[in-house]
């Protein structure tokens, strides 16, 4: 069997699927195995691609790797192209690849060249394993370092890590990313004269519940940045979508009617001011730091507070050739 594998040609790689033992071995594996021809065409795909990504093997062979490679997949494609050109060391990455329904799933990626006895490069072997369970476990283990203990939201450190990651994705994909900053109006009214925080704690938990209800996609993030300030990160969300979500959050918090007697102008209940910023990279845009998006959102938030609170202000950043970072 080993000798037969060594002599297998590109044409026989696809034909080998008809061999009962070989086929059963591959089809029983939870790891998706793909055989790539020169030029990175999909010559073979095992059945696990359907379980992990929702694509049938024959669909993937017809449509090619591009259907998997949104999000961080561009990094994988760059590595595969290098392997296709030269016999380099195996590639191993953990990144998010796309499923058929458009979701992103954490995937362990291994790629290596496949050679004949004469050393001629025939194929790249690509192996994809669902890593979502491992990632979830890692998040659980590190959760206390990246999350606010009272609300379960990301803390400032965790949120800025998410912001940097999604800003990089937005830059590669030329996709919009929106940041929403939320500040409790007259926060001091939620603490009593003896420094008790029962009112503030109640407001924080109510806001956290509302923000969690809006983060339905894997890349969305909600955070508590300090006692009175919260944030939402919404990748692939344009300005109009951010405004809609901001309107919902503002009204939902007011509807909770958490008492804040200092907020007399708003009926003695807790309200918030909101600043949103949406960033969009266009073709040939120069790089800019993720802090630019945060700065614009803070400026919009300050304007909302200056206008009396319980309102929303927005900002849009379009980065194109000639723009620089602040």
Say which CATH number the domain at 187 has. 3.30.70.270
Give the burial string for 260-298 (b: 16+ CB within 10 Å, else e).
bebbeebeebbbbbbbbbbbbbeeebeebebebbbebbb
Residue 99, in any domain of the structure: yes
pLDDT > 90? residue 152: yes
Q: Give the predicted TM-score (pTM) of the model.
A: 0.57
Instruction: Please tell me the predicted confidence (pLDDT) of residue 94.
Output: 86
Instruction: Please tell me the predicted confidence (pLDDT) of residue 4.
Output: 45
CB 249 within 8 A of CB 210: yes
Instruction: Please tell me the predicted confidence (pLDDT) of residue 307.
Output: 92
Instruction: Please check whether residues 52 and 160 belong to one and the same domain.
Output: no
Residue 120, in any domain of the structure: yes
Residue 141, in any domain of the structure: no
Phi then psi for residue 111, to 5 deg, are: -140, 140
Instruction: Please check whether residues 93 and 162 belong to one and the same domain.
Output: no
Q: Give the Cα-Cα-Cα angle 201, 180, 261 (nearest 5 degrees).
A: 35
Q: In sequence order, what are the beta bridge partners of 234?
A: 178
CB 90 within 8 A of CB 112: yes
Instruction: Please tell me the predicted confidence (pLDDT) of residue 214.
Output: 95
Instruction: Please tell me the predicted confidence (pLDDT) of residue 295.
Output: 92
Beta pairing class for 91-98 and 104-115:
antiparallel
Residue 140, in any domain of the structure: no
**Total domains, the chain:** 2
Q: How far is residue 61's CA from residue 295's CA, in Å, rounded to a whole number?
A: 45
Instruction: Please tell me the predicted confidence (pLDDT) of residue 294.
Output: 92
Residue 196, in any domain of the structure: yes
Instruction: Please tell me the predicted confidence (pLDDT) of residue 69.
Output: 85
Q: Is 93 exposed, middle or buried (0-12, 13-18, 19+ CB in 10 A)?
A: middle
Instruction: Please check whether residues 156 and 296 belong to one and the same domain.
Output: yes
The tens digit of pLDDT for each residue in 18-73 reads 555 666 777 789 999 998 888 888 888 999 999 999 999 999 999 999 889 876 66
Instruction: Please tell me the predicted confidence (pLDDT) of residue 118.
Output: 57
Domain termination site, one of 108, 133, 158: 133
Q: Which segment, 100-104, 151-155, 260-264, is predicted with the most confidence on average?
A: 151-155
Instruction: Please check whether residues 101 and 151 belong to one and the same domain.
Output: no
Instruction: Please check whether residues 69 and 160 belong to one and the same domain.
Output: no
Structural domain boundaries enclosing 270: 147-319
pLDDT > 50? residue 324: no
Structure tokens at 88: 């380099």
Phi then psi for residue 253, to 5 deg, are: -65, -45
Q: What is the mean pLDDT of the chain?
A: 83
Instruction: Please tell me the predicted confidence (pLDDT) of residue 209.
Output: 97
The tens digit of pLDDT for each residue in 208-232 reads 999 999 998 989 999 999 989 999 9
Instruction: Please check whether residues 201 and 315 belong to one and the same domain.
Output: yes
Instruction: Please check whether residues 52 and 165 belong to one and the same domain.
Output: no
Residue 103, in any domain of the structure: yes
The gap from C-alpha 323 to its chain's centroid, in whole angstroms, comes to: 25
Q: Which segment, 77-81, 183-187, 321-325, is predicted with the most confidence on average?
A: 183-187
pLDDT > 50? residue 204: yes
Residue 107, in any domain of the structure: yes
Least confident of 88-97, 125-134, 257-266: 88-97
> Which of these, 301, 295, 251, 255, lies nearest to 276 by C-alpha position?
301
pLDDT > 50? residue 252: yes
Instruction: Please tell me the predicted confidence (pLDDT) of residue 221.
Output: 96
pLDDT > 60? residue 311: yes
Which region, left, alpha or beta, applies to residue 87 given φ > 0 means left and ψ of -120 to 50 means alpha?
beta
The gap from C-alpha 251 to its chain's centroid, in whole angstroms, comes to: 27
Domain termination site, one of 105, 133, 161: 133
Domain termination site, one of 133, 157, 180: 133
Instruction: Please check whether residues 265 and 293 belong to one and the same domain.
Output: yes
Instruction: Please tell me the predicted confidence (pLDDT) of residue 248.
Output: 97
Instruction: Please tell me the predicted confidence (pLDDT) of residue 326.
Output: 40
Instruction: Please check whether residues 295 and 253 belong to one and the same domain.
Output: yes
Residue 142, in any domain of the structure: no
Instruction: Please check whether residues 118 and 231 belong to one and the same domain.
Output: no
């Amino acid at each position: 069997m080993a000798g037969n594998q060594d002599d297998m040609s590109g044409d026989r790689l696809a034909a080998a699927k008809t061999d009962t033992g070989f086929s059963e071995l591959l089809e029983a594996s939870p790891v998706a195995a793909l055989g790539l021809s020169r030029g990175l065409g999909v010559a073979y795909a095992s059945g696990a691609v359907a379980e992990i990504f929702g694509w049938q093997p024959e669909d993937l062979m017809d449509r090619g790797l591009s259907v998997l490679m949104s999000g961080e997949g561009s990094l994988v494609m760059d590595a595969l192209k290098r392997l296709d050109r030269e016999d380099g060391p195996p590639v191993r990455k953990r990144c998010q690849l796309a499923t058929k329904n458009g979701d992103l799933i954490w995937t362990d990626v291994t790629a290596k060249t496949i050679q004949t006895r004469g050393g001629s490069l025939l194929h790249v072997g690509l192996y994809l394993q669902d890593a979502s369970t491992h990632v979830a476990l890692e998040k659980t283990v590190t959760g206390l370092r990246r999350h606010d203990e009272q609300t379960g939201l990301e803390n400032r450190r965790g949120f800025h890590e998410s912001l940097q990651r999604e800003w990089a994705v937005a830059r590669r994909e030329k996709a919009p990313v929106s940041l929403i900053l939320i500040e409790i109006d007259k926060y001091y009214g939620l603490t009593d004269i003896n420094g008790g925080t029962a009112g503030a704690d109640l407001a924080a938990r109510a806001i956290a519940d509302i923000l969690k209800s809006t983060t339905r996609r894997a890349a969305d993030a909600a955070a508590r940045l300090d006692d009175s300030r919260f944030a939402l990160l919404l990748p692939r969300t344009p300005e109009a979508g951010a405004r809609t979500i901001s309107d919902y959050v503002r009204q939902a918090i007011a509807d909770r009617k958490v008492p804040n007697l200092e907020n007399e102008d708003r009926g003695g209940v807790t309200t918030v001011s909101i600043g949103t910023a949406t960033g969009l990279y266009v073709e040939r845009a120069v790089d800019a730091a993720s802090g630019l998006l945060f700065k614009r959102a803070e400026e919009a938030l300050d304007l909302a507070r200056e206008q009396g609170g319980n309102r929303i202000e927005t900002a849009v950043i379009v980065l194109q050739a000639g723009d620089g970072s602040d």
